[in-house]
């Protein structure tokens, strides 16, 4: 038991360190700025609602929810992201609470929130069922759970598949993040504890990058998971060059007329009474 707890702490520490690398705020602001507001609208968050954003990062969903009039708690495992989020919220005039919390063990009461959201965040918790159980637990009966997750078949899902051969093996029990973008997987995770499940495959159109190499270099500089993979192979120049080529080729395959289509799954569900 003690050994298991120590492994879990080490896994969580690794996740915190990974997401503190680079600058996720730049990715959220320059590449996918509209995703959070899309989720807030789909979940119907507004005045009078108590909202929890799980794995909130720098507040891509939490800040729009607060600006829509909701009372918002933004929770994340990585304190560096929360600090950046606080500054961004202040710049936009949004008032909300920022709290460090583990998506697999949320420090909130049963049914504490009217709407529980996560925008490409909770999908990165290693134990999917544990995280899903917490999403349901803290949502009040009749409340709404709203998620946006990258799909396995979409660009970001394929990016993780491309990086996998170069990355260290995942910890025991960890599941691939893009599985959260599968309708069947999410329905199985939430089970009969929710009703009125609606899933929609949508896409964000990305025109931030002039060419595939610019995309690759941007993610090498700013996106924690990509930075971590490159650090793992830093002493192997041939593998670094191969990953450089693989990521550029992936971006090239998903580009058309200077734009990239990044597919995601939008999920809304109602907590059963």
| Domains along the chain with CATH numbers | 2-153+169-205+262-271 (3.40.50.150)
Res 251: pLDDT: 97
CA distance 247 to 242: 9
Res 62: pLDDT: 98
In the predicted model, residues of the chain with pLDDT beneath 50 are none
Is residue 130 helix, strand or coil? helix
CA torsion through residues 212, 214, 218, 220, sign: positive
Res 2: pLDDT: 57
Res 230: pLDDT: 98
Res 257: pLDDT: 87
Residue spans of beta strands (DSSP E) within the chain? 50-54, 71-76, 97-100, 113-119, 139-150, 194-206, 255-256, 259-271
Q: What predicted TM-score, i.e. pTM, was given to this entire model?
A: 0.95
């Amino acid at each position: 038991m003690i050994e298991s707890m120590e492994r879990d702490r080490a896994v969580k520490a690794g996740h915190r360190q990974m997401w503190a690398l680079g600058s996720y705020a730049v990715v959220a602001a320059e590449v996918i700025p509209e995703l959070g507001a899309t989720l807030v609208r789909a979940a119907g968050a507004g005045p009078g609602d108590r909202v929890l954003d799980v794995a909130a990062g720098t507040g891509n969903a939490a800040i729009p929810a607060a600006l829509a009039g909701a009372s918002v708690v933004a929770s994340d495992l990585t304190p560096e992201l929360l600090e950046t989020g606080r500054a961004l919220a202040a710049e936009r005039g949004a008032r909300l609470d920022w709290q460090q919390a583990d998506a697999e063990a949320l420090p909130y009461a049963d049914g504490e929130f009217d709407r529980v959201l996560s925008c490409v965040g909770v999908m990165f918790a290693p134990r999917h069922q544990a995280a899903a159980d917490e999403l349901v637990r803290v949502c009040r009966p009749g409340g709404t759970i709203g998620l946006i997750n990258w799909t396995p078949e979409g660009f970001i899902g394929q990016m993780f598949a491309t990086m996998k051969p170069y990355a260290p093996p995942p910890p025991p029990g960890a599941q691939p993040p893009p599985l959260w973008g599968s309708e069947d997987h999410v329905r199985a995770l939430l089970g009969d504890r929710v009703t009125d499940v609606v899933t929609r495959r949508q896409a964000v159109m990305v025109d931030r990058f002039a060419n595939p190499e610019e995309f690759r270099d941007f993610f090498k500089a700013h996106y924690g998971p990509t930075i971590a993979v490159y650090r793992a192979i830093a002493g192997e120049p041939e593998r670094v060059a191969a990953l450089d080529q693989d990521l550029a080729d992936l971006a090239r395959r998903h580009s058309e007329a200077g734009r990239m289509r990044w597919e995601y799954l939008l999920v809304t569900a109602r907590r059963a009474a």
